[in-house]
Structure 1
């Protein structure tokens, strides 16, 4: 099974009816899954996630990004009275999705300074304890996890803890990015995130214009076919492959995802009804 989606549902103008006020519904008429990235910046309320579930078809699913203090981008003390409270609120937020079978995975995207150290290995073990048996996908942004000496051990650790390996396509810029590693660590699922290959934009992560340039990239036909082959290869290792296009800066993600869907000859049933345009008859 191959499930294709995008990061967020608000930045893909080609998917919406004119002046649409129902972007999530429009999105769900095109793709069967979405990555919720707003949860990285603020944990949503359960009532909010419940509305997302209610507004989408039963077959529609969510990959939810872990809150930024859960992935060491920030300190939990900046937001909550205790670490326990932070995790409780996140668990409450995902409950409406999880209880109704609509949660594909929780994505833990770690920062470039989260390197392969004993302390960070212990943190990953702690995460599994705190999150129970929920499906957790791990994405590294530090190359020390994938050196000649560490790659095998990294994958063994992820498998031991039942983590889903996140395979990434991103610019190769020093230690602040990781290579493509086509290995599954979970028999049920592997996650692929395609960030584009804009090296100059990737390096501007902390600049004011980062949102406009960081993932400004459009995959060409050769690159789409390359990933179609990679996906077929990974299908031999996991029952489901989740593919997320994150090249949103120039509005290319939706078109690239449709292109990949065609390359893999995939069609989805159970999508939301398409919203009517003002001048549709």
Structure 2
């Protein structure tokens, strides 16, 4: 099964009519897509009341990909409210309870930064992360080319398979050491993750430091030919992983939802069990 969605549900204006308030957007989102990435969990470990609400507002078969908190992946800036890394992981792990009880947790995504290089210290940290997360399905995304450099490519994939990490296949600009190549390989027989970041090479290289760096980096709209290339690729991934989760992250210009719908059409998928769409009153 191929599940297609986008990152977050608040910013995709093309999905929502004028009468849909921000607090009701997830309900409406569930009428369009069967999965979503929870990106708010990256900025703060979310309180249980939030996940309870999100689980209640989505259809029974809906699936969440929850992004790991930034302190867990080396992105943290500013004050650290946790006394130890162990306490941080325990708090995040507890925040997943609502998704797990409802059978709506597809996986947790650990996205590591460009400075997370392939070395012994970081490999050991990945082992520690996996042990801390226990039986929670976890996906791994790199932003440093050293993990897939000649001589390390096969070792990295073998490590992920042996340790039980779900490989995240990335479509992103090829812009030097801070990006990874397209690696169409699954490391888990049950799940795979694909993330579309756009192909804005200039924005990827220049987007650092400024307040609007995300708007620059992910400003890209895939054309029909680029999406069409992915039809056979996704089908190939589906041959080696039971469920393939596909998330569009190119939303700086509001393009992610439209591209995700195009991909659904290209694959000829008709999802059952979606939420009913809001009816226009006039």
Q: TM-score, normalised by structure 1?
A: 0.97
Once residues 73 and 121 of structure 1 are traced to their aligned partners in structure 2, the CA distance between those partners, rounded to angstroms, is: 17
Question: Residue 207 of structure 1 aligns to a residue in which SS?
Answer: coil
Give the corresponding residue for 2:16: 16
User: Which 10-residue stretch deviates more, 209-218 or 145-154?
Assistant: 209-218
Question: Residue 236 of structure 1 aligns to a residue in which SS?
Answer: helix
- What whole-Å deviation, never above 9, does each CA across 1:108-163 have from its counterpart, x for those lacking one? 00000001000000011001110001100000000000011101000000000111
Once residues 140 and 241 of structure 1 are traced to their aligned partners in structure 2, the CA distance between those partners, rounded to angstroms, is: 18
Question: Residue 177 of structure 2 aligns to a residue in which SS?
Answer: helix
Question: Residue 82 of structure 2 aligns to a residue in which SS?
Answer: coil
- Cα displacement (A) at 1:202: 1.4
- What whole-Å deviation, never above 9, does each CA across 1:54-102 have from its counterpart, x for those lacking one? 0111111100000001001127971212222211211111110012110
Once residues 137 and 153 of structure 1 are traced to their aligned partners in structure 2, the CA distance between those partners, rounded to angstroms, is: 17
Q: TM-score, normalised by structure 2?
A: 0.96
Aligned length: 279
Once residues 73 and 225 of structure 2 are traced to their aligned partners in structure 1, the CA distance between those partners, rounded to angstroms, is: 34
Once residues 72 and 149 of structure 1 are traced to their aligned partners in structure 2, the CA distance between those partners, rounded to angstroms, is: 25
2:60 to 49, 58, 61: 58
Give the corresponding residue for 1:124: 126
- Cα displacement (A) at 1:172: 1.0
Provide structure 2 residue ranges, at least 5 long, that are not aligned to the other structure: none
Once residues 76 and 98 of structure 1 are traced to their aligned partners in structure 2, the CA distance between those partners, rounded to angstroms, is: 30
Once residues 125 and 201 of structure 1 are traced to their aligned partners in structure 2, the CA distance between those partners, rounded to angstroms, is: 33
Alignment of 1:37 onto 2:39: yes
Question: Residue 6 of structure 1 aligns to a residue in which SS?
Answer: strand
For 1:1-281, list aligned pairs within 5 A.
1-21=1-21, 22-74=24-76, 78-203=80-205, 204-279=207-282
Contact residue 145 and residue 154 of structure 1 kept, 8 A: yes
Q: Check 1:130–1:81 CA distance in 2 against 1; reply closer, same or farther (3 A cut).
A: same
